[in-house]
Each structure stands twice: as C-alpha cells, then as structure tokens.
Amino acid sequence: MSRLAEEFLIAAAQKSADLTHRATIKRNVDSYDTAVAKGKLRFADWEAARTYAARVKGEAVSNLAPLLEEFERKIVARGGHVYWAETADDARQYICDVARKNNVKTVVKSKSMVTEEIHLLPALEKLGIKVWETDLGELIVQLRNEPPYHIVTPAMHLTREQIRDLFQQKLPDDMNGESHQELVAAARRFLRRAFFAAEMGISGANFLVADAGMVAISTNEGNGRLTTSLPRVHVVVTGIEKVIPRLEDLGVLWPVLATSGTGQPITTYSTLIGGPRAEGEVDGPEEFHVVLLDNGRTEVLADEEQQELLRCIRCGACLNKCPVYRSVGGHAFNTTYPGPIGSALTPIVNGMKDWGHLSYACSLCTACDSVCPVKIKLSGHLLENRRKYVSEGDAKTSEKVGFSVFRWATAGPRRFALLGWFGRKITRAALAIGMSPHALGPLASWTKYRAMPDVPKDSFRALWEKNDGNF
C-alpha cells in the first residue's frame, strides 16, 4: 500500500468517526439537495437540458484543438495574450514572469480550482507578492491556511461560530458583529482595500467560448468582476477542456451549471470577457492574458474509453450526492478535486500507482451518474481505473489471491457451494474458540465498527430447497 493510500485511510477513518463534522456536512449538503431539487423544476425538461449539455461538451472534447485555436485567434486580435502551458510548472513560470514584468506587489484572485491544481499562490508568495482570495469561502480557508474543502463551496465544513472566531483573530479591525450578515460585511470591508491595492487580478474560467473568443465566468459575490476589471493586469488560468463551440450554448450551460451546483436558476453574476480595455472604454485591464493549461488533459483526451471525463463543468453535484464524500469530507482525499470526479481523474493525470486507491473510495451506488449534468458515467470510470490499477500490478497480493479464489469459486455452482460451506465452518469454529471477529481476515474491517452477524448453519441454496422456495 502506498503512503498516500495509508494517509487516505487514516484521514477517512478519523473524519467518519467525527460526528460533529458529519452533522455539519449533512446539514449543508441537505440544504443543497433541497435547493437543487427545486431548481430542476424550473426547467420544462431537465433531462433534455442534460442531454443538450452533454452533447455540447462532447462536441467540444471531440474538436478541442480547432476550437481552442479559434478562441486564441479572437483573443489575440483584440490585443490579448494566450499562453499554452503544457505543465503546472510552465503555467506558474509564465504567470510569475508577467507579475515580475509589471512590478506586481499585490494580487487579488477569484475562485479557481486550476490555480489550486498548479499551486500558484505559493509560487507568487515566494516572489514576495501578496495574494488575496476574494471568494468568501476561499478567503476563509486561506485565513485557516488550508485547501478548499469542496469544488464549489470551499468552506462547507465550517460552522458560523468557527468563522466568527477566525475573523475575530484574523480580521479584528473589520469585525462589527457576529451574525451571518455582519461576518460577510467584515470580509467585504477587508477585501475592498485589497481590490484597490492590487496591480494584478487572477481568475479562472467556467467556459471558453470559441466562436465569440470570450471567457465566461460565473460568480455569486461580484468579486469576479472586481478582480477582472480593477487591476491593470488580468490573467485567466484555465484548463483546455473548458472550451465550448458557440455563444448560444451558454443559454443552457450557464443555468445547468448553476442549478446542479447550488440550485440557483443562474449565478448572480455571469460575465463575458474578451480582451484588455479597448480604446474609449472606461474600465478593464490594460493587459489581458489567458493561460491554457494541459497538465495531463491530453492524456485523458487520448484515452477513448475515458475522454468523456473532460466534459466535466465542475458543478460539484457528484460530491454532494456521494455517500463516501459525505462521510469522509473533502480534505481526506488530499487532492485538488475530491469526490467522484477527483477519484476518477486524479489517478489518470497524476499516476495510477500513487493515486489508484481513490478509485476504491466508491460504493458503486451510481448516485454520481444520476446527477451529473453532462451525463458522465463516473462509476464506470472508477471501475475502469480499478481494472488498470490491477493490470499495472499495483494491487495487493492478498487482493489478487482473494479475487482469484472468488473467480474460481463463482465459475461453477458446486465450487461456490463448497467455498461457502468451508467459509461457514471456519468462521464458526474460530468464533467458538473465542477468536475476536476483528481478527477474521477480510471481515476485520467490517466488524471493527459493526456487530458480527450469526453465521448460518445452512446456505441460502440449502434453505431454498428445504423450504421449497417458501420463507
């Protein structure tokens, strides 16, 4: 077992046993479930909208290169700069160079999981540049010096009281009460100063519109517009899979994204940006850069079985529905993208040997499949990852032996009956001599937290025949 797999199991066990944590997550996720169910009713045909969104994203994935080149031509024609970053190192280096050339001392950043993926903040801070997160949830986890807990709601795991205590410690001059509204107002007062001091704004992108040459950004707090329009330099950092063919596609993708993520009909602020400030315009940046990040995405694209993972629009719906995520939380995964989508993508991009264990953090209930707005069959990809994990020789010897025996036994009814008879005999004999259920091999993990059921004397098949099918 790899070190990362061991760390995951330890963190998952701790969080699963933390009833306060589980209650907080349940309360917050339940509120999203209610809002999303209500939000879907606003659509005349929710399934038709999912089908349309899946088709658009599928078309984009199949035509990634020409659509990105079309997007690039239009951004450059308006005076913007487009940089193709093959790796996270490339992206960090380019952005740091832009900051150095512009003598940047302070950066404001709107929510972007890609900047988490490339570890951008530590790189900028090494240059002596102060970076402030401007999304409220991101600011909270930044002040706690921890990564986002959730793709859409980074501070989902915290209570109002925890945030109040944090702000009293970190933002005492801006505190003027402890209600929800007063805590938001404290963050706003603090961030206003940061917005007006910053020389550079960094944002992500929800979509890159090829035919319009526009970056589409969705936010709920207005921080995105201030980040992209107040500083004199604006840098967009985004994965190459965010491109879509047409502006008209946003008519479905924007509401589908908002409804799946938070239950809203559409996010409060929906912004399109196509370049730097043009002559005669009164606002907008003097410099505009778009960093198109690959960082393993073309490897996913090259895999015909799993390239549909690039359809993901990062709504977070699969996390909210996943029973594993709801139990162990976001930080246990130790990845930029937790939950089902992260467990499917991370082993492909970062290596099956170190990250393949995440594909087993799934009960295969398929709840994630049912809520994905672009119809990604996440459970199928997790199974495919498990197949790769085993075929590449990374599975434990005990698992290989166990499943070999299981395959042999289930290949014939007599073998299966023999294995069942032998298993019942051994288990009953072990319990009869006082052996703890916790020591019974494969049953140990199960019985550690649950009572050992009585071992039946007869198999189900024998009982069926004995009672002639009547129970």
CB 108 within 8 A of CB 226: yes
Q: Which residue has the tokens 């004999």?
A: 429
Distance (Å) of CA 22 to CA 44, 66, 158, 444: 35, 46, 11, 24
**Average pLDDT of 311-318?**
96
Instruction: Specify the CATH superfamily of domain 42-295.
Output: NagB/RpiA/CoA transferase-like (3.40.50.10420)
**pLDDT per position as a tens digit, 321-348:** 999 999 999 999 999 999 999 999 999 9
**pLDDT per position as a tens digit, 9-32:** 999 999 999 999 999 999 999 999
Could you tell me the residue ranges of all domains in the chain? 1-37+303-394, 42-295, 397-467
Fold of 1-37+303-394: Fumarate Reductase Iron-sulfur Protein; Chain B, domain 2 (1.10.1060)
Tokens (6 digits) for 101? 């050339």
Q: What three-state secondary structure class fits 134?
A: coil
Distance (Å) of CA 460 to CA 10, 96, 320, 420, 443: 36, 66, 37, 10, 20
- Quick one: which H or E segment has residue 208? strand 207-209
Name the residue with higher pLDDT: 191 or 460: 191
**pLDDT per position as a tens digit, 372-388:** 999 999 999 999 999 99
- On the question of pLDDT at 445 being above 80, the answer is no
Q: Note the pLDDT of residue 398.
A: 78
CB 285 within 8 A of CB 234: yes
User: Residue 436: pLDDT band by 50, 70, 90 thresholds?
Assistant: confident
Model confidence, pTM: 0.89
Tallying the residues shown for the chain, one arrives at: 471
Q: Note the pLDDT of residue 75.
A: 98
- Quick one: which H or E segment has residue 215? strand 214-219
CB 227 within 8 A of CB 201: yes
Tokens (6 digits) for 267? 């996010």
- On the question of pLDDT at 438 being above 90, the answer is no
**Average pLDDT of 37-41?**
96
Q: Tell me how far apart the alpha carbons of residues 267 and 223 are, in angstroms, rounded to a whole number.
A: 13
Q: Which residue has the tokens 């009814």?
A: 413
* CA-based max dimension of the chain: 89
